[in-house]
Amino acid sequence: MNVLGFPILSIMIAVPAVAAVLCLLMPGAPEQKAATARWLALAATLIDFALGVVLWTSFDIGGAQWQFQEYAPVFGRFAWAMGIDGIALMLIMLSVFLMPICIGASWVAITKRVPEYMAAFLLMETLMIGVFASQDLFLFYIFFEAGLIPMYLIIGIWGGAERIYASYKFFLYTLLGSVLMLVAMLWMAREAGTTSVPALMAYDFPAGAQTWLFLAFFASFAVKMPMWPVHTWLPDAHVQAPTAGSVILAGVLLKMGGYGFIRYSLPMFPEASAQLVWLVLGLSMVAIVYTSLVALVQNDMKKLIAYSSVAHMAFVTFGLFAFNRQGLEGSLMVMLSHGLVSGALFLCVGVVYDRLHTREIDRYGGVAQNMPGYALLFLLFTMASVGLPGTSGFVGEFLAMMGVYQTSSIAGFVAVTGIILGAAYMLYLYRRVVYGKLDKPDVAAMLDLSKREYALLVPIAAVVLWMGVYPQSFMQPMSKDVGFVLARLDPTRPISDAQPTAGRAVVPAHAAEHGGAH
Partner 1 sequence: MSTLSSIALTAPELLLSVGSIALLMWCAWGGDAATRTISVVAVALLTGAAFLLLGPAGYGGTGFGGLYHADAFGAFAKLLIYIASAVSIIVAPRFFADTGSMRAEYPVLILLSAVGMGMMVSAGDLLTLYVGLELQSLAAYVLASFMRRDTRSAEAGLKYFVLGALASGILLYGISLVYGFTGTTDFGGIAAVFGTPAEEPVRLGRLFGLVFVFAGLAFKIAAVPFHMWTPDVYEGAPTPVTTFFASAPKVAAMALLLRVAVEAMGPATEEWRQIVIFCALASTILGGVAAIGQTNIKRLLAYSSINNVGFALFGLVPGTALGVSAVLTYLAVYIAMTLGSFLVVLQMRDARGEPIETIASLSGLSRTQPALAAAMAMFMFSLAGIPPLFGFWPKFLVFDAVVDIGLWPLAMIGIATSVIGAYYYLRIIKTMYFDEPAEAFAPSGSKVEGGLIALAAVVVSPFGYLMIGPLGLISLNAAKALF
- Can you tell me which of 47, 182, 379, 498 binds partner 1, judged by CB under 8 A? 182
Which residues from 106-135 bind partner 1, rule CB under 8 A?
113, 116
Q: Which of residues 192-231 bind partner 1 (CB under 8 A)?
A: 216
Please choose, out of 68-76, 232-240, 266-274, 279-287, the segment that lies near partner 1 by the rule CB under 8 A.
68-76
- Least distance between partner 1 and beta carbon 155 (Å): 9
Residues with Cβ within 8 Å of 455's Cβ and at least 6 positions away in sequence, in order, are 104
Measure the CA–CA gap between 407 and 497, rounded to whole angstroms: 6
Q: At what angle do helices 163-192 and 137-146 cross, to 10 degrees?
A: 180
Q: Any contact of residue 190 with partner 1 (CB under 8 A)? A: yes
Residue choice 71, 75, 466, 470 for contact with partner 1 (CB under 8 A): 75
Burial of 384-402, coded b for 16+ CB within 10 Å and e otherwise, reads: bbbbeeebbbbbbbbbbbb
Q: Does 317 bind partner 1 (CB under 8 A)?
A: no
Q: Which is closer to partner 1, CB of 146 or CB of 379?
A: 146
Of 7 and 156, the one with the shorter C-beta distance to partner 1 is: 156
CA–CA dist 6, 1 (Å, integer) = 7
Residue 394 makes contact with partner 1 by CB under 8 A? no
Element (H, E) at 480: helix 472-489
Q: 196 pairs with which residues across the strands?
A: 136
Q: Which of 45, 106, 167, 407 binds partner 1 (CB under 8 A)?
A: 167
The 3-state DSSP class for residue 488 equals: helix
* 242: contact with partner 1 by CB under 8 A: no
- What is the torsion angle, in degrees rounded to the nearest 10, for the CA atoms of residue 343, residue 349, residue 350 and residue 354? 170
Identity of the residue, 100 or 150, whose beta carbon is nearer to partner 1 in the bound complex: 150
Q: How many other CB atoms sit within 10 Å of the CB of residue 179? A: 14
Bridge partner list, 134? 82
For partner 1, which residue of 11, 54, 172, 207 counts as binding (CB under 8 A)?
172
3, 50, 54, 176: which one contacts partner 1 (CB under 8 A)? 176
Contact 181, 217 (CB under 8 A): yes
Which residues are paired to 80 by β-bridges?
A: 72
Q: Determine if 236 is a binding residue for partner 1 (CB under 8 A).
A: no
To the nearest whole angstrom, how small is the minimum distance from the Cβ of residue 234 to partner 1? 18
Q: Which is nearer to partner 1, 33 or 355 (CB)?
A: 33
Asked if 336 touches partner 1 (CB under 8 A), the answer is no
How many amino acids of this chain bind partner 1 (CB under 8 A)?
A: 35
- In the region spanning residues 8 to 47, those forming contacts with partner 1, defined by CB under 8 A, are 24
Q: Least Å distance between CB 429 and partner 1? A: 31
Lay out the site mask for partner 1 across 131-160 (x = CB under 8 A, - = otherwise): -------x--xxx-xx-xx--xx--xx---
Residues in 409-438 at the binding interface with partner 1, rule: CB under 8 A: none
Residue 425 and residue 304 in contact, taking contact as beta carbons nearer than 8 Å: yes
Q: Give the Cα separation of 458 and 439 in Å (integer).
A: 29
Piece of the chain touching partner 1 by CB under 8 A; list 49-57, 172-180, 261-269, 308-316: 172-180
Q: What is the dihedral of CA 215, 216, 222, 225, to 10 degrees?
A: -130
Give the DSSP letter string of 362-423.
Answer: GG---HHHH-HHHHHHHHHHHHHHHT-TTSHHHHHHHHHHHHHHHH-HHHHHHHHHHHHHHH
Provide the binding-site residues for partner 1, judged by CB under 8 A: 24, 74-77, 113, 116, 138, 141-143, 145-146, 148-149, 152-153, 156-157, 163-164, 167-168, 171-172, 175-176, 179-180, 182-183, 186-187, 190, 216
